[in-house]
Amino acid sequence: MRILITGGAGFVGSHLCDRLLKEMHEVIVVDNLITGDINNISHLAGRDDFSFVKYDVSNFIFVPGKVDAVMHLASPASPNPTSPYGYPQLPIQTLKVGSLGTHNALGVARVHEAVFLLASTSEIYGDPQEHPQKESYYGHVDIVGPRSVYDEAKRFAESITMAYHRYHDLDTHIARIFNTFGPRMRLDDGRAIPNFIVQALKGKPLTIYGDGSQTRSFCYIDDLVEGLYLLLQSDENYPVNLGNPQEMSILVLAEEINRIVGNKAGIRRVPDGRAPSDPQQRQPDITRAKSILNWEPKVDLETGLKLTIEDFEKRL
Ligand code: NAD
Ligand code: UDP
């Protein structure tokens, strides 16, 4: 297949490029590098089966030649308001790429009669009142809160994707991605795992926002990429959760990272560090992914963290 990946120079997108190229597909990346990094894909430069175009997909997209699949990953993804790469600092860009960008990416898929996959998110469930979260849960999102620029953009993105499926008969897929981590995450993107690893490697205390009792479930990047690839090839048009159901508190995550790195500086509590609407708990119900895709995560947290720490150490 000839596959267009929007946001392909980002963390998830660049790993997806590697995987698709390994499967002998041709890959075209379109990315404006607003939160991505050209170094994530620089090892692919010069290949005949790979090309990169620096472009903002919130504008009309024209792709010469045949396209067989469009995978729409372009969007800021970090909720941290103190990072320049966090969507609270990029609110209009985030809303535009989730709405206009998704519309344009769907337009490319329609013109080429290509398969379409949307990278959606567990954030569409907001601060969830159902636990664990099944795809049937409608979510609990503060429409005007600071996180809404991301959450509502992705909810719109899912809605317009289903409209293209129903109205234009497009073959579409929606992945609801839960917290994913791994090599190539930006050192300064502000999410918990990059923050903690950088702090631990520098021998500093790890910043725990609030009391650290809030939970997340972390999936290693290779597992997620496998799930995305299977979903792209499946017949499933309704949303599918992709994530690792192993849930833990942020405090336990921090202690685990300190243990692996051997950091003796402990933790530092930042009592008012939690952003408004920061979900208290999050865990995917992956029953549908298991039965439809025969997929479940294989990499345990410790193995994934060690691989990520190795990569961060090199880049620091
Ligand atoms: P990332 O910031 O590393 O990658 C996003 C990429 O999109 C970046 O390279 C960025 O430059 C690009 N981009 C943003 N706006 C663009 C625009 N208007 N035009 C062109 N390119 C644009 O983030 P990530 O963690 O790799 O996330 C990738 C996708 O997966 C996002 O859609 C995100 O919402 C989704 N997702 C990620 C996670 C996670 O835990 N990593 C969880 C849920 C959903
Ligand atoms: N968090 C933290 N310290 C940090 C960064 C994040 O305690 O240095 C917390 C944050 O408040 C949230 C959780 O870790 O409750 C996960 O945050 P992240 O930014 O990784 O992603 P989210 O799941 O909120 O999108």
Asked whether residue 203 is domain-assigned, the answer is no
Asked whether residue 199 is domain-assigned, the answer is no
pLDDT digits (tens, 9 = 90+) for 182-203: 999 999 999 999 999 999 999 9
Asked whether residue 159 is domain-assigned, the answer is yes
pLDDT digits (tens, 9 = 90+) for 34-58: 999 999 999 999 999 999 999 999 9
pLDDT over 70 percentage in the chain: 100
Asked whether residue 140 is domain-assigned, the answer is yes
At residue 3, what are phi and psi to the nearest 5 degrees?
Answer: -115, 130
- CB 155 less than 6 A from any atom of ligand 2: no
Q: Which residue has the tokens 């839960």?
A: 178
Q: Is the peptide bond before 132 cis (omega within 30 degrees of 0)?
A: yes
Asked whether residue 119 is domain-assigned, the answer is yes
Q: Judge if pTM exceeds 0.75.
A: yes
CATH number of the domain at 131, please.
Answer: 3.40.50.720
What separation in Å is there between the alpha carbon of 23 and the centre of ligand 1? Answer: 22
Asked whether residue 305 is domain-assigned, the answer is no
Number of domains in the chain: 1
Residue identifier of the C-alpha nearest atom 25 of ligand 2: 79
**How does residue 111 score in pLDDT terms, banded at 50, 70 and 90?**
very high
- Residue 294: pLDDT above 90? yes
pLDDT digits (tens, 9 = 90+) for 248-284: 999 999 999 999 999 999 999 999 999 889 999 999 9
Q: Give the residue from 247, 235, 248 showing the smallest Cα distance to 291.
A: 235
- CB 195 less than 6 A from any atom of ligand 2: yes
Instruction: Report d(CA 293, CA 111) in Å as an integer.
Output: 28
**How does residue 84 score in pLDDT terms, banded at 50, 70 and 90?**
very high
Instruction: Report d(CA 4, CA 49) in Å as an integer.
Output: 12
Structural domain boundaries, residue 93: 2-181+219-245+280-298
- Residue 86: pLDDT above 90? yes
- CB 80 less than 6 A from any atom of ligand 2: yes
Do the Cβ atoms of 180 and 218 come closer than 8 Å?
yes
Asked whether residue 271 is domain-assigned, the answer is no
